[in-house]
Amino acid sequence: MKVGVLGSGDVARSLAAGFLKHGHAVTVGTRDRTKPAGWAAKHVGAQVGSFAEAANFGELVVLAVKGAVALDVLRAAGAANLAGKPIIDATNPIADASPASGVLKFFTTLDESLMERLQREFPAAHFVKPFNSVGHLFMVNPQFPDGPPTLFICGNDDVAKQTVRGVLDQFGWETADMGTVEAARAIEPLCMLWCIPGFLRNQWSHAFKLLRRE
């Protein structure tokens, strides 16, 4: 697949490297092409462009920017470059305020997630939410003694979710589909839960797993 990654931070670089490792073509989108230039030089096949160029390039688009600017970045990417495509939304609506007792603050409420805001403004794009509740170092083929961990996903478009499920299979995850975009109200706060051991005890090496009885 051709993958357009919006963002050039830790998550964007980890996911872009994962797509390259699994044989996909990647363009990383940024405001400042000099920022990921050194990274791109070390990753054969990685290209760098503007947000619009990366979105236009991708058959699959990855949104990996600061949550507070997610809408601005999508506007810069351009609605026409997103329409009809699966959009992996890795963002979290983290507020600028400091965590309280290890619990992050969000700028959203439990009645409206960030992904719902994105989906509402870009109705022709097919947002799917994985990756928000694990650290970037574990996003691609994580190795844990108890086997593959679980990523919870949600989104309105079944074909887009099928595409994302295929990516998660390649990236070594179990997928748990939690339904439509509204489920992001529950999935986004998993980021708060994931970060608590980090803020309280400097423990950042874990992932969630859903246990089932068939």
Ligand X SMILES: NC(=O)c1ccc[n+]([C@@H]2O[C@H](COP(=O)([O-])OP(=O)(O)OC[C@H]3O[C@@H](n4cnc5c(N)ncnc54)[C@H](OP(=O)(O)O)[C@@H]3O)[C@@H](O)[C@H]2O)c1
Q: Which uninterrupted H or E stretch holds 174?
A: strand 174-177
- Min. distance of Cβ 139 from ligand X in angstroms? 7
The CB-based long-range contact list for 143-150 (8 Å cut-off, 24+ gap) reads 144/207, 146/209, 147/209, 148/172, 148/173, 148/174, 148/209, 149/173, 149/174, 149/207, 149/208, 149/209, 150/174, 150/175, 150/176, 150/207, 150/208, 150/209, 150/210
Instruction: Kindly tell me which of 114 and 160 has the beta carbon lying closer to ligand X.
Output: 114
Instruction: Give the interface segment with ligand X, choosing from 53-61, 85-93, 153-161, 206-214 (CB under 6 A).
Output: 85-93
Task: Tell whether residue 132 is a contact of ligand X (CB under 6 A).
Answer: yes
Residue nearest to ligand X (CB): 9
Task: Tell whether residue 113 is a contact of ligand X (CB under 6 A).
Answer: no
Task: Tell whether residue 30 is a contact of ligand X (CB under 6 A).
Answer: yes
CA dist., res. 28 & res. 5, Å (int):
5
Task: Tell whether residue 158 is a contact of ligand X (CB under 6 A).
Answer: no
Instruction: Kindly tell me which of 97 and 214 has the beta carbon lying closer to ligand X.
Output: 97
Residue 176 — φ and ψ, nearest 5°? -120, 110
- Min. distance of Cβ 105 from ligand X in angstroms? 12
Q: Which uninterrupted H or E stretch holds 60?
A: strand 60-63
Which position among 49, 78, 99, 135 is part of the footprint of ligand X (CB under 6 A)? 135
- Min. distance of Cβ 71 from ligand X in angstroms? 10
Give alpha helix (H) positions in the chain.
10-21, 37-41, 51-57, 70-77, 79-82, 114-121, 158-170, 184-187, 190-201
Binding mask 61-80 toward ligand X (x if CB under 6 A, else -) reads ---xxxx-x--xx-------
Q: 166 by DSSP, 3-state: which?
A: helix
Task: Tell whether residue 206 is a contact of ligand X (CB under 6 A).
Answer: no
Instruction: Kindly tell me which of 113 and 132 has the beta carbon lying closer to ligand X.
Output: 132
Token digits of residue 90: 């890795």
- Min. distance of Cβ 123 from ligand X in angstroms? 22
- Min. distance of Cβ 200 from ligand X in angstroms? 17
Binding stretches for ligand X (CB under 6 A)? 7-12, 30-32, 35, 64-67, 69, 72-73, 90-92, 94, 131-132, 135-136
